[in-house]
Amino acid sequence: MAHHSELIAKDIHAYLAEHERKELLRFITCGSVDDGKSTLIGRLLYDSKMIYEDTLAKIEKDSVVHGTTGGGFDPALLTDGLKAEREQGITIDVAYRYFSTAKRKFIIADTPGHVQYTRNMATGASTADLAIILIDARHGVLEQTRRHSFIVSLLGIRHILVAINKMDLVNYDEAVFDRIRADYRDFATRLDIPDLHFIPLAALHGDNVVDPSSHMPWYQGQTLMSFLETVYIGSDRNLEDFRFPVQFVIRPHLNFRGFAGTIASGIIRTGEDVMILPSRKTTSVKSITTFDGEIEEAFAPQSIVITLRDEVDVSRGDMIVRPGNLPKVQHELEAMMVWMHDQPLVPGKQYLFKQTTQTAPGMVANLRYRVDVNTLHRVQAPALKLNEIGRCKISLSQPLVFDGYRRNRATGAFIVIDRITNATVGAGMILDRETSERRADFWDAAPVSPTLVGQTSQVTPAEREARYGQRAATVLLTGLPGSGKSSMAYALERFLFESGRSVSVIDGQNFRLGLSRDLGFGDEARSENVRRAAEVAKLINGAGLICIVALVAPSEDARRRAAELVGADRFFVVHLFRSPDAGTAADSAGEVSGGPIHFEPPAAADLALDTATTSIDDCVARIVSILEARKIL
């Protein structure tokens, strides 16, 4: 498995060029204390023959003194290098290891599992493409497992591999693996994890690490190494939004003035028009230079020097973008914050906020809530303590150029610096969503003009009922992401259409691509999304059609208001859910979650359907029965 190549002996330059072109995967290992994170990394490198002989000999010698395997070879000592780590048998600081195979280059961050070092885990996860979350098969999903999963989701890591370790200590029991997988999936439905995988392991003995395990014939999936070499990360990089934070102004002589930095995202070509923020001056790219000379095109994350055709004022901290694709430039922003210092976060205290190459003084104007990482509930708190996570409103003395973190990790992240000690005290992820202070609640809002008067159609509802052979109604399919709302909506539409009915679907994701494209995923934004969908459904009902709405709609209050808006006599709520041991349904067209969701199950749903145990056809039949019983059909 180790990367051996004949080019090393024949042509070292060709070998280095080949190595440079290989894709780089950054990943972290995390989980609760003593779940086997360091052991897994050590075994991964050992079985793939990526440890030098002198290093291996030293680890074998140290295993006798510091090992936790009774004097045998302890792979954990490869990453647990600190004296305190070896004495206590735990990981304290983030340890990085670098290796490569014939297919990829890798950077591993072995992060601590102890709650005391959650800040270290967040640091290691900030640049990762993939996270391996280890779970001890004896203990299952623990508090720290949930904490790290929440942080991984918060930091926008798209690919999660749940490694259920120490299967040898539960006799390689498939039932234990299935139970833990179901428990984790039940918790993960409330997180934004687009790509989730599970592998059973016995890291100490190498089962399913590099080679398939003979002890678990019931598992037919990939080994850990095979998964790491093949997981697709090509679409994770943002190549759409060009963002170039200026780091240095280079002026070697009178005839050259260039702007150096690393492309945060996107692609740029010579001759293209650009805008300088925050001044909003426009010009075009004259040349793009790298260490190897001039190039015609550059992309993230290349380090380049750009020269411009016009003499415009550009300095460190400015950002070069395209005129038709602009980030936000604001003094105020909303962010999720991980607090990383013993001294708690104090709203109103002055800090420095560093984002890309910009540093702006400011303060946390308001701590909106702290997140309980076990329940994902929001808790009111006066301050954030060490390792706690909360949502804040930040007010700056100068405008910051940024994108939402979900859209662009490079321009949506920042660190908080103490102005007195210069210590990094917090890390933040900017939310691309408005708050209730900036967005009015339109449920009870009056029209902007008192002279507006509603009009009445000359076609009566009775005439429409006679024409279509049905009464107008709205069916709201509500439930968590993955419960099958979109699939159910389109199956119900197809059945009704083939039955000669006139029907239309409002799908959550399609709706957010259109009418609600300006909305985020906070409570207020979700409520407004439901209101807009209800207004459209009311118009569709007014035309005599049946409207099927597939939305998460997590708030009971928003669903109640939607019923009042559409008309309680023709508004039906169908709650879709999946039983805890059924995993997550594939519902690619469903509304994306956009972060943790506090879902309030409908208090009095017209119908509740377990989509894990009931087929789509049976679900459709039961919904149709309700409509027939209520004289809609």
When pLDDT is cut at 50, 70 and 90, the band that residue 586 belongs to is very low
* CA distances from residue 514 to 441, 511, 533 in whole angstroms, order as listed: 20, 5, 11
When pLDDT is cut at 50, 70 and 90, the band that residue 272 belongs to is very high
pLDDT, tens digit, 9 for 90 and up, residues 325-379: 899 998 889 999 989 888 999 899 999 999 999 999 999 998 989 988 777 788 8
Q: What is the pLDDT of residue 402?
A: 93
> Could you tell me what percent of the chain has a pLDDT over 70?
82
pLDDT, tens digit, 9 for 90 and up, residues 124-174: 777 888 999 999 999 999 888 888 888 888 888 889 999 999 999 999 999
- Give the H/E segment covering residue 85: helix 83-88
CATH number of 7-230: 3.40.50.300
pLDDT, tens digit, 9 for 90 and up, residues 205-224: 888 988 899 999 999 999 99
Kindly compute the dihedral angle of the four CA atoms of residues 234, 289, 326, 23, in this order, to the nearest 10 degrees. 10
Domain edges within the chain: 7-230, 243-321, 328-430, 465-629
Contacts of 306 (CB under 8 A, 6+ apart): 244, 258, 259, 268, 285, 287, 288, 289, 320
- Is it the case that residue 584 has pLDDT exceeding 60? no
Q: Note the pTM of the prediction, 2 decimals.
A: 0.62
Cis peptide bond N-terminal to 344, omega within 30: no
State the chain's mean pLDDT as an integer.
83
Q: What is the pLDDT of residue 535?
A: 94
When pLDDT is cut at 50, 70 and 90, the band that residue 24 belongs to is confident
Tell me the three state secondary structure of residue 277: strand
317: left (phi over 0), alpha (psi -120 to 50) or beta: left
Looking at residue 142, the DSSP 8-state letter turns out to be -
Q: Is 547 or 456 the better-scoring residue by pLDDT?
A: 547
Q: How many angstroms from the chain centroid is the CA of residue 296? A: 33
CB 296 within 8 A of CB 269: yes
Most confident of 14-18, 39-43, 85-89: 39-43
Q: What is the pLDDT of residue 142?
A: 86
- The encoded tokens of residue 24 equal 């780089």
CATH number of 465-629: 3.40.50.300
Q: What is the pLDDT of residue 151?
A: 84
Tell me whether the CATH fold assigned to 243-321 matches the one assigned to 328-430.
Answer: yes
Q: What is the pLDDT of residue 591?
A: 46
- Is it the case that residue 624 has pLDDT exceeding 80? yes
Give me the residues paired with residue 134 across strands. Answer: 31, 163
**What is the rounded average pLDDT of the residues 28-43?**
76
CATH architecture of residue range(s) 328-430:
Beta Barrel (2.40)
When pLDDT is cut at 50, 70 and 90, the band that residue 118 belongs to is low
Judged by average pLDDT, the poorest of 113-122, 167-176, 381-390 is 113-122
Q: What is the pLDDT of residue 479?
A: 92
**What is the rounded average pLDDT of the residues 482-497?**
92
CATH number of 243-321: 2.40.30.10
Q: What is the pLDDT of residue 76?
A: 55
The candidate with the shortest Cα–Cα distance to 261, out of 314, 309, 310, is: 314
CA angle 314, 317, 320 (to 5 degrees): 55
When pLDDT is cut at 50, 70 and 90, the band that residue 59 belongs to is low
Q: What is the pLDDT of residue 95?
A: 66
